[in-house]
Structure formats: C-alpha cells, structure tokens
Chains A and B, each alone.
Chain A
Amino acid sequence: MIVLLIGVSLLVAIGFLIAFLIAVKKGQYKDTHTPAIRVLFDDNSEEKNKEENKSESN
C-alpha cells in the first residue's frame, strides 16, 4: 500500500517537473521583467473608450 502511494506521489511530482521543464523550454524564464510591465498596458485605449461610453449611456 505504502509503495503504491509513494509511487503515485512520485508520479504527481514528476508531472510538475515535466511542467517546469516545458516552461523552461518555451522560454518563460528567459525574460522575467518585461511581462511584468506588459500586463499593465490597456489592450486598446480606443476600444476601452467605447466601452466606457457604452457603460455611461447605460
């Protein structure tokens, strides 16, 4: 029983390991600074303006 549980726990952990390795492969660790700035940009100021106008008219 313990052997089985340990096996399962190892498998789960290996799953996370693989997720990490894929993340590295995709270059997520290459640049950790720019994405932090990028999320702060509005998608599109004009679309946003339209949305604001809409919500005002509603």
Chain B
Amino acid sequence: MNSEKKIDQKLVCYHCGDECKDDSIRIDEKLFCCNGCKTVYEILDQNKLCNYYNLDQTPGISPNLNFGNRFDYLDDPSTIQKLLDFQDESISKVTFHIPQMHCSSCIWLLENLYKFNSGVSNSQVDFLKKELSVTFNHIGISLKELVKLLTSIGYEPQILLESVDKKSEDKVSKRLHYRIGIAGFCFLNVMLFSFPEYLGIDVTDAFLKNFFISLNLFLSLPVVFFSGWEYFGSALKGLNKKIINIDFPISLGILALFIRSIFEVATQTGSGYFDSLTGLIFFLLLGKLLQEKTYSYLNFERNYKSFFPLSVTIKIEEIEKSIPINKLMIGNRIIVRKNEIIPADSILLNGDGRIDYSFVTGESKPVGKVSGEFVYAGGRQLGSVIELEVIKEVSQSYLTQLWNNEIFNNPDKSAESYFTNFSNAVSKYFTFVILLIAFVAAGFWFQTSIATALNVFTSVLIVACPCALALSTPFTLGNAMRILGRNRLYLRNTAVIEDLAKVDSIVFDKTGTITQLGKSDLIFTGAILNSFQQKMIKSLVRNSTHPLSRKIFNSLEADDFFPVTKYDEIPGLGVTGVVYGHKLKIGSKKFVIGSYEDDKLATNVFVSIDDELIGHFLVTNSYREGISNIIRSLGSNYKLSLLSGDNEGERYNLLKFFNDEKQMYFNQSPEDKLEFVKSQQKSEKNVLMIGDGLNDAGALKQSDVGIAVTEDISSFSPACDAILDASNLNLIPKFLKYSQSAIKIIYISFVISFLYNLFGLTFAIQGMLSPIIAAILMPLSSISVVLFATLSTNFVAKKMKLLGKGGS
C-alpha cells in the first residue's frame, strides 16, 4: 500500500488515481498528479487520517485550492441563516450536498471531520442522498471556514440558496412512516380479534363477541382517520380545486367499507369488514412507500441541468480565456460579445451595454447601460463587446430556466409533450369511467349479495390506477434526455425527443457545422499586415461570435485592444466598426468592396481599412471527421439538404457527401435559410436544422427541431431546442434512432398499463379480487411500468453504445 502503484506502466496519483505526468511531485514513495492532491495528502497525514487510503484505493478527489474570495458570501448573516438547519448560542447544524462523495473512504473521512477542527462536534453522511450534516460550534469554526475545510480536502459542497424546501420533504416521509406504523399495528390486531370468525367458531358468548367487534371498531378509527387521511386529504384538496384526482376513488372505496361496517355493527347484522379495511389501508400505504423509494432512486441523477457545460470568456491580466461557467467566481472580469448572454449579475466596466432582457421579462426593447451600472444576469448583449465584473455567484439553474422560458417556444411547437397531454386527458376521464364501472358492477352484485357487491365496488376502485399510465411518459423521456445529455446532446425539454423522432428532413448548415474551423487553415494574402493593423483587426473581430471571426481573432497577435465604436454586425455578410479613427470592414467581398462577382473557388474574408482593400484571409475548409459516414447513413432514411452562407467554392468537395447537387444551396442569407425551412415544412416535412446557432438562429427556431452545434458551448443561443457538442456530431444518426426507440418504449408502456388495468378490472368485476389483493397489485403496476420505462431506455442506449463509456 505504501509503494507507488503502477498500472500498465503508468504513474498513478496516490490520492485521486489520475495519471501523473512525471514523478516530480512526490512525498516519500507516493506520487501525486498535482499539488492539490499532495496538499490533501499532507492535511490528512498531519491529522493522522491516512486510514482514508486503506479503505478504498485512490479514493481522493483532486481539489480546487484557489478559493479567492469565492466563499465570502458565507460571512453574510442572512445567508448563514438561510443555510443553517438549526442554531442556538453556540451550536449550529447545517446540511451540505456533496456530489463528489463516491465510496466508503469518503464516508469515513467526512465523518471524521472533527479531527481536523475541534469546532466540529459531529458530522454524518447520508450516502444515497450525498448529503453531509454537520453539527459545529460556530464560535470555534465559522460556516465559511467549514466550507473551506471541506473544499480543501476535495469535497466542495454544492451550495444552493434556493434549496430550502428539503425540510418539508423529510416531514412528509416521516408522516408516511407514522401512518404505516399505526395502520400495520391496528391491522394485525384486528386480524387477531377476527380469528374466531376466520376459523368459523361461533362465539356463543354475546358479551365476548361484542367485545371483539367493538375493539375492532375502535382500532380501525385511527387507521381510517389518521392513516387514511393520506387519501382523504388529497382527494379533498382536489375537490376544492374542482378536480377529481386519483385519490378520490380510493377514498370512496375506503369510506364505503367503513360506513358499511359501522352500519352492520350498529344494526347488529354482522361483524363488519374491519380486517379488510385496515389491511387495505396498510397495504396501500406500504405500496406508496415502495413507490416513493423506487422513484427517488430512479430520480437520483435526473438533475442533469446542473452539469450543462456552458462556458464564458474571462480576462485575467489582459489575457482572455474560456472557462466553464461553474468555475466563474465573484470578482472575475468577463467578456461578453454581441449576442452572448450575461451569465451572472455584474457591474459594467467597459463598453456600451445594449441589453435585451426579452428572455427574462418578455420586453424586447433593449436597455442601455453605461459603465458603472448594474447588469442583471440573463440579458443578451446586442451592441459591441463589453467587459463586466461579476458580483454574484452564477446560478446555472437560472440560465437553463431561461432556455425553457415560453418566449422561445415556437407557438407551433408544444412545450408540453404530446404524450403528457395524452395521459393527462386520459387520467381525467379515467376516474369517471372507473366510478361508472364500480357503480354498475356493485349494482349488479347487489341483487345477489351485499357483501360481494361491496367487495367488488371497493376492489374496482382500488385496482384501477391511472398512475402507470401517467408515469410512463415522464420516466421514459426523462431518462432518455439524461442519456442524450451524457452524450453531450443537451435538450431544452423532454418534448424535443418526440419532435426528434418525427423528423424526416435534415438541413445542415455548412460553416462551423460540417466544417471544422478549429482545424482549418487561415492564410492572409495581400499587403503584409503591420502590428498596428493586426491589432485593429483583432479588436474589431473580438466583438463577434461568428466562427470565422473567432478564427481570425485567434490567428492574430496582439496583447491588448483598441476601443471599437459604431460596431455593427450584418449576419451573413460581415462586421464593421471604427477603430482608432479608422473605418474597418471585414467580411464577404460583396460586403467589403461592394462587388457582386464572387470568387467562387474558396471562402475568403476580405479586409478593408478606410474603404481601401488591404487583402483577404483565405480559409481552407476542413470537414469534420466522419461527416461522410453520417451523411451517407442518414441519406437513405431522410431528405437531406445543405445550406451555406458562403459561395460555391466548396461545391465539388461537398458533392462527395451529398450525391445530389439539388440538395445544396449556396449564398444563403439568414432569411433565405428561414424561408427554406418554412418551404420544407409546407411540404409536410418535419425539419431538423443543424447549425451553429448564430447566423441561422431564425432557421433553428423555425425548424421542428433546431440543434446548435458548438465547439465550446459559449454562445448560448436560446433559439435552439438542443445544443450538441461538436465532437459528437457523428452520433446524430444514433440520436435520431434512439429518440424513435424512446417513443416506442412509451407506447409499449401504455399497452402494459392498459392491459394491467383491463385484467385487474375483469377479475374485480367478477368479485374474484379482494380489496386487499387489489391494494397490493396497484402500486406494483406503477412500479413495474416505471422500471420497464427506465430499464428499457437504458438497455436500448447500451445496445446503441450511447451508454457505458462514461460510467454506469
């Protein structure tokens, strides 16, 4: 255990198990991949906690040791108040969500927190929920220090200020346990007292008989009124809102049994059905608990949105670089270009803000902001590039929420899925149909035997359950969406899967979609650019998010930038602006020189300064790997088209992929692209548009499904329905096939739950199903449908190799 581990001759970090570049970072024989891991080892070693490494091999998590003043907000008393579960003069209790915990070593270390700091008196892990509750003396250690301690050993808590509703969830689960306990207790005792009856012993002693019956009656009261309130309460709530929900028939069944039993006891005609009644409620509640446990287990990873990999450009000491949005800290300076979204509440430092808040407020008139003003997250910059200082943590959930905002939803596209609508509609009538069947069946049996009639009535009400129907859609689509997310196709909502399955026509954009700018070459021809000119060009293209602008930006060398005024970007043509008193134009030949004869052989970006042509950048396109395979495999099942804003320079290269020349359209403006999608839709096609989300935003929005392909997911374009990481473009055919399978799975689940209800009802109507059996069957049906939906979506994904590489 003490020597370095060599797996396949690779140097492996003693702490986290990652591969080490070399053996420069080491303590004794132990190698580390980075200083962070080494620091954690030292901390653990100092506190004599190296047992951590004996429980599991390389259990550690490489920590992020740059706190900066990231946790300063934890000094704020109102924030502390929000996070703490409990506080008195010296003791505080807090619960953290720590997604990193993954093995028994993690549990051991986190539960030994008190050894790091004597201020911590107790820490306890809930492994399945990935939660850590800490009791600490806030005089000995502040909340901020506690969070820093956890971060320094690699377990940074995920602090969400909105998550305050978890306490009520605990209460609900406890209440269910109480209800089950009481119901189970009373049920067993009622059975005990009903034994003479079961065995057919005729109790002659009238006193004893009455004693048993009144005991049963007494015991059933808490079951009906406390345990059964789970159903009555919910049914009443529904009735208040004038909705008959699924708890209504169940409540009716319970009440029917209870009233009938009371009636029999009161008239001394029988001993009632207290055993069925209490058993019924007990099993119903037990099923409910089992159901909830299953759902929460399957829901475990549903919160995919927090992993949505958005990135943002930050500026550190005049160097601009792109980082994932969740690494953004308070105090960072960020750069927001035209059409990009402001990721966090910030102060405007530089540039003119013209910010469109239509995502947030629906008001599309842009708001002007000058430097020094406060800017809310979620706005989209319409003017030239601005520099901001972040003053509040980023809330990623807030940003993804924006994506789901109704404003972006094309009125033709339903946000609610067709299946959700379908099962909602069915559920509505379901209850009425069941009530009808129950009354008719009971009426039929009433003539032969009142007892059977009552049993049939209750059984029918209990056994028929629309939950299986209602659950199959969200579980299938939710899981499919998660699996697609793992393959870096991020969907706006589950309804997109349904639309994907219906697609029969695919439209590709060229630049940035099937060509790969990262690998293309850029050659400047014309007068040699001096450093002043380079700097001017770089300053101008810095404002634009177009792939070609980014490409030019990266190819030029300049350490700082000039301010740009009168910046304008004309989609499909180019950018213009005034830099240092010179008017610059960069873009297509038509845009820069005004000439209409285009050079048809290559993609050129022309540059003019003060209306004088300087030269042009020649861009040689390189196609994404595997693009010919994608197009070939899609070609047989879908109608394919290619739209390009460029000239026909690449026509011959593209012909290799698209065999039919008529499928290719060049010199397309954004409006042309939009019109093309519209015309396709008019001819009854369901169009999937794959583009870069910038100069084809209109087409993406118009299409039935718009997928934005991005290299770094920085230009978050809410117009699209899905965002795809460019490296996984070759999986498009699989994604389409997978969504079709998901829809098939929903249909199969519908059939299963329908068959189940049909069988259950057939037996119940014939009086062959006692209410207790019905109560056991009902939750089983929901669970089986949910399991089927989740497992089969996983199975199909595994078969298609969409699942398995990235774990589980």
Contact = CB atoms under 8 A, between A and B. Distances in A.
Interface string B148-182: 00000000000000000000001001100110011
B196 to A, nearest CB: 11
B191 interface: no
Given A30-B126, A41-B108, 14 more contacts: A6-B193, A13-B185, A16-B185, A20-B181, A24-B174, A24-B181, A30-B173, A34-B107, A34-B125, A34-B126, A34-B128, A37-B104, A37-B127, A41-B55
B127 A34 contact: yes
A21 B178 contact: yes
Interface in A19-47: 20-21, 24-25, 27, 29-31, 33-34, 37-38, 40-42, 45-46
A9 B493 CA distance: 57
Contacts of B188: 13
A3 B205 CA distance: 13
Contacts of B211: 3
Contact of A33 (B55, B127, B173, B185): B127
Contacts of B128: 31, 33-34
Nearest to A16: B185
A13 B51 contact: no
11 contacts: A2-B208, A17-B181, A20-B181, A20-B185, A21-B181, A29-B174, A31-B127, A41-B104, A45-B51, A45-B54, A46-B48
Contacts of B48: 46
B129 interface: yes
Given A20-B181, A41-B108, A31 B126 contact: yes
A10 interface: yes
A23 to B, nearest CB: 9
Contacts of B108: 41
A8 B188 CA distance: 16
Contacts of B174: 24-25, 27, 29-30
A6 B177 contact: no
A45 B125 CA distance: 20
A10 B216 CA distance: 12
A13 B187 CA distance: 12
Contacts of A42: 51
B620 interface: no
A4 to B, nearest CB: 12
Interface in B734-763: none
Contacts, number: 58
A13 B189 contact: yes
Contact of A29 (B127, B177, B208): B177
Contacts of A2: 208
B215 interface: yes
Interface in B120-143: 124-129
A30 B177 CA distance: 10
A30 B166 CA distance: 13
Contacts of A21: 178, 181
Interface of B: 48, 51, 54-55, 104, 107-108, 111, 124-129, 170, 173-174, 177-178, 181-182, 185, 188-189, 193, 208, 211, 215
A21 B193 CA distance: 23
Contacts of B55: 41
A17 B126 contact: no
B281 to A, nearest CB: 16
Contacts of A6: 193, 215
A34 to B, nearest CB: 4
Contacts of B124: 34
A41 B193 CA distance: 47
Contacts of B51: 42, 45
Contacts of B107: 34, 37-38, 41
A3 B215 CA distance: 11
B177 A24 contact: yes
A40 B178 contact: no
Contacts of B181: 17, 20-21, 24
Given A25-B174, A45-B54, A38 B208 contact: no
B115 to A, nearest CB: 10
A17 B177 contact: no
Contacts of B127: 31, 33-34, 37
A34 B108 CA distance: 10
Which of B55, B104, B108, B185: most chain A CB closer than 10 A?
A: B185
Contacts of B189: 10, 13
Nearest to B115: A44
B308 to A, nearest CB: 28
B173 A38 contact: no
A13 B190 CA distance: 12
Given A17-B182, A17-B185, A34-B125, A40 B177 contact: no
Nearest to B126: A31
Nearest to A48: B51
Contacts of B177: 24, 29
A29 to B, nearest CB: 5
Contacts of B182: 17
Nearest to A24: B177
A26 B693 CA distance: 54
A37 B125 CA distance: 11
A25 B48 CA distance: 36
A31 B178 CA distance: 16
A30 to B, nearest CB: 7
A10 B104 CA distance: 43
Nearest to A17: B185
A30 B127 CA distance: 11
Q: Which 4 A-B pairs have the closest CB atoms?
A: A31-B126, A45-B51, A24-B177, A34-B127
B95 to A, nearest CB: 11
B204 to A, nearest CB: 14
Contacts of A17: 181-182, 185
Contacts of B185: 13-14, 16-17, 20
Contacts of A34: 107, 124-128
B93 to A, nearest CB: 13
A21 B182 CA distance: 9
B235 to A, nearest CB: 25
B688 to A, nearest CB: 43
B572 to A, nearest CB: 57
A18 to B, nearest CB: 10
Contacts of A33: 126-128
Which of A10, A34, A40: most chain B CB closer than 10 A?
A: A34
Contacts of B129: 31
A43 to B, nearest CB: 10
A49 to B, nearest CB: 10
A24 B178 contact: yes
Which of A13, A16, A31, A42: most chain B CB closer than 10 A?
A: A31
Contacts of B125: 34
A38 B54 contact: no
Contacts of A30: 126, 170, 173-174
A33 B188 CA distance: 28
Nearest to B289: A29
A34 B104 CA distance: 9
Contacts of A46: 48
A37 B208 CA distance: 51
Nearest to B55: A41
Contacts of A14: 185
